[in-house]
Structure 1
Amino acid sequence: MKRLSILIADDDAEIADLVAIHLEKEGYHVIKVSDGEEAVGAVEKQSVDLMILDIMMPKMDGYEVTRTIREKHNLPIIFLSAKTSDFDKVQGLVIGADDYMTKPFTPIELVARVNAQLRRFMKLNQPKIETKTSLEFGGLVITPDQRTVTLYGEGIQLRPKEFDILYLLACNPKKVYSVEHIFEQVWGEAYFESGNTVMVHIRTLRKKLEEDRRKDIWIKTVWGVGYTFNG
């Protein structure tokens, strides 16, 4: 079986080496680079299954690297950064990261998050038997087998977790899901004060569904409880 490859992009060699040691013990093939341009080049030249990115790097920071990678590639991205503010975490998730860890960190938790992201990514990308089943709600059509969404005939580009949240809610209209339940179902791991993660993804999803300019409110907030699909 092919070893999965993980790219570590960090200009702190000691941290990169520490992370690499623990990932190699798990059986991963590790690629290390020290700046953003090298990170982008590595993904273009070889197969990378997951990226661990620092934010503050020479030449291209982690945000710019993520934007560039997301234009062509679909793979899990985890930020590992000394920037600890909620603003930085939210910005990272909005740009396209799948997870965010702050320094200092425990290697065992980072490995656990890497394993969880790869399990979920590989499960979602397994070949599926094509069917014509879709969920239709007025002008909104969700086709799970193709993982596509159209709104009044126009396609909407959703990131994997945005689609998963929408599909989870739409499968059971009117059912109220707590933030904890959404996180555990979509991220595939135990909830650990990750409310901002869910809220950021739902905020972005609402913008893509054009709730800010249409009368249709697809995702309804149930204050103090969670979210429900208003289909």
Structure 2
Amino acid sequence: MSAAPTVLVVDDEARLRELVRGYLEQAGFQVTLADNGLRALELARRQPPDLVVLDLMLPGIDGLEVCRQLRSFSDAYVLMLTARAEEIDRVIGLEVGADDYLTKPFSPRELVARVRAILRRPRTSPTGEPAAPPTLRFGPLTIDHARHEARLAGAPLALTSLEYDLLAALAAHPGRAFTRAQLLDRVWGDDYFGDDHVVDVHIANLRKKLGDDPAQPQFIATVRGVGYRFVEPQ
């Protein structure tokens, strides 16, 4: 039997930490707790988690900085918690590498459902479709499924797992236009609870890392009124 997924819960509110831990352990997860960002990074290095539930407002270094540093050495999923509903907080959280966000106050059951949904997210190729070739090449861009890695002009791209999956999903069908809903289905999973705005944020992140100009795209083109497509090789 495979080990239960591990979740690192980072929040400075002891009552909330314990509440979330109780619900996650009841759902079958192994849980580690941290009350500040430095402790969270220390634990993540020592005992790599599968997913991090990360509060935005932390003493010392905040959740955004924790997420930035975490992304330098960990591929764990990140579910960001924010007490503020402003869109800018959510967007910034996603831009630094968070996979999803949840606004306080929230139902602990919804948090557990989000954690399950993130961990069940399909990887690269959806079920029922032919497996993609182990390596795809598009000019200077190489997508290596065996290594779960993308390279640009020979240099590895620092992509999160979600960014890699999004790129791979688009590149598997060059020229095909995908709606945001279709990309959510393929990359986030059909039980994703959030809105489709996350697709735009992660596409923007991908473009930055690829050095892709939306006005003259080499890799990812916007299809007005529809969504996005991977540019067909010439």
Whether 1:181 and 2:182 are equivalent positions in the alignment is yes
Change over 3 Å in CA distance of 1:141–1:59 after alignment to 2: same
Q: 1:200 to 1:28 in 2, by over 3 A?
A: same
Q: Does the residue aligned with 1:23 lie in a helix, a strand or coil?
A: helix
Paired amino acid for 2:18:
D
Q: In the superposition, relative to structure 1, how do residues 44 and 24 fare at CA in structure 2: closer, same or farther (>3 Å)? A: same
CA deviations on 1:94-148 (whole Å, 9 max, x unpaired) are 1111111000111111101111222338x67xxxxxx984222233222222222
What do the CA deviations read for 1:161-205 (whole angstroms, capped 9, x no partner)? 111111111111111100011011101133545222100110111
For residues 49 and 193 of structure 1, the distance between their equivalents in structure 2, rounded to whole angstroms, comes to 20
Secondary structure at the counterpart of residue 120 of structure 1: coil
Question: Does the 8 Å CA contact 1:82/1:104 hold for their aligned counterparts?
Answer: yes
CA distance in 1, matches of 2:187, 2:214: 27
Is 1:88 matched with 2:85? no
CA 1:190–1:140 in structure 2 vs 1: closer, same or farther (change >3 Å)?
Answer: same
Aligned to 1:105: 106
**By how many angstroms is 1:215 displaced?**
5.4
Structure 1 stretches of 4+ moved >4 Å: 213-216
Q: Which runs of 5+ in 1 are unaligned?
A: 125-130
Residue in 1 that maps onto 2:42: 41
CA distance in 2, matches of 1:92, 1:211: 22
Q: Tell me the equivalent position of 2:69.
A: 68
1:86-165 aligned at under 5 Å gives the runs 86-120=87-121, 133-165=134-166
Q: TM-score, normalised by structure 1?
A: 0.87
What code does the residue aligned with 2:110 have? E
Aligned residues: 224
CA RMSD of superposed structures (Å): 2.3
Contact 1:180 1:191 in 2 (8 A): no
Contact 1:183 1:194 (C-alpha < 8 Å) held by counterparts:
no
Query: SS of the counterpart of 2:178?
Result: strand
What is the rounded CA distance, in whole Å, between the counterparts of 1:214 and 1:171 in structure 2?
22
Q: What secondary structure does 1:39 align onto?
A: helix
Provide the rounded CA distance (Å) in 1 between the counterparts of 2:159 and 2:197. Answer: 19
Task: Output the amino acid matched with 1:112.
Answer: A
Amino acid at match of 1:89: R
Give the equivalent residue in structure 1 for 2:170.
Answer: 169
Letter in 2 for 1:4: P
Q: Select the structure that is richer in helix.
A: 1
Shift of 1:213: 9.7
Q: CA deviation at 1:214?
A: 10
- Structure 1 residues 23-32 or 82-91, which shifts more? 23-32
**Structure 1's 202 and 38: CA in aligned 2 closer, same or farther, altered over 3 A?**
same
Q: Aligned AA for 1:201? A: H
What amino acid maps onto 1:159 in structure 2?
T
The alpha-carbon deviation at position 60 of structure 1 amounts to: 1.7
The TM-score, its normalising length taken from structure 2, stands at 0.86
Query: Does the residue aligned with 1:150 lie in a helix, a strand or coil?
Result: strand
Report the equivalent of 1:8.
9
